[in-house]
Amino acid sequence: MDRPVIAFLGIGLMGGPMAARLARAGHPVRAWNRTFAKAEALRAEGAEPHAKLPDAVAGARIVISMLEAGPIVREVMAAALPALAPGSLWIDMSSTRQDEALDFHAILAARGCRFLDAPVSGGVGGAQNGQLAIMAGGSQADFDEAAPLLRAMGTPRLVGPAGSGQVAKLCNQLIVGATLNVVAEALLLAQAAGADPVEVREAIRGGFAGSRILEVHGQRMLERNFVAGGQVKSQLKDLHNVLAAAGAAGLALPVTELVTRQYETIAGELPQADHAAALIALERMNPGQRLGDAPDRLS
């Protein structure tokens, strides 16, 4: 059976490797980005770069967007709508608010098109290796159609109707953001109290405190490697979206509020640093305390 043409919109830090994996898996991919050179770079992976958005989406059965935030998704969607074929499926893999995802669903439905919100977790490494966690919201039929191509990028799971993927992503980011800060506190405490933070991390990796955050970002903190995988600005955007969703649901999330304030203290100076830079925010609260003696590696 012929594979459907995919228009992939947004060839950035995450979108580039995601689109490349689709192309290498044999899916026909049209790549579009506002900066055309980024789309052109995917020609070597087998994708077809397009300079004009309408040309990229015209006749495509599936459109995938991987863009910075909800307002940009809305802008790109509005520009693409006149060229969309009726019945096409738009999969937004960006991180947006739930209410934005519901609006996108309504906009597309009014034009006879379909929608999945399918944000991801796993960072640049997960995108490069096809190991993203993909949280999808939409109908079972649309998910079943999308699943073969989503599996080229990671492990997809349908978590509920439209908008539910963004809820799952917010839950993910809540846990990630809080855990990053707790790992930073644990390692800084280990050193300040006279223990070897490298050995403390090794000692607790196999117990209940073990996690991917301790594994990956604990090592980053020890090395003071803050070259971006997930960025501070993106983490902060997601945390603000978590708090907005909590407010709409009538919930107070005190830990998330604290974590958000921590990231806000470094967002102006280090927006593109890896979100493991939570360690830097913590050190600034504790003058004279610094984990290790390596120089900071920053984007």
Active site residues: 169
Cα 185 from Cα 4, distance rounded (Å):
48
CA dihedral 289, 223, 171, 121 (to 10 degrees): 160
Distances (CA, A) of 218 to 73, 214, 236, 262, 276: 33, 4, 19, 18, 8
**Tokens 């992503």 -> residue:** 169
Reported as type and span, the H/E element at residue 36 is: helix 36-40
Question: 283: which 2 tokens?
Answer: 């050190």
User: Rg for the chain (alpha carbons), in Å?
Assistant: 20
Which among 6, 29, 10, 17 has a CA at the least distance from the CA of 76?
10
Which among 156, 196, 171, 152 has a CA at the least distance from the CA of 251?
171
* Bridge pairing between strands 132-137 and 120-121: antiparallel
Q: What is the DSSP letter of 153?
A: T
Which among 293, 258, 254 has a CA at the least distance from the CA of 278?
258
Residue 221, Cβ density class (10 Å: 0-12 exposed, 13-18 middle, ≥19 buried): buried
Cα torsion 88, 91, 66, 47: sign: negative
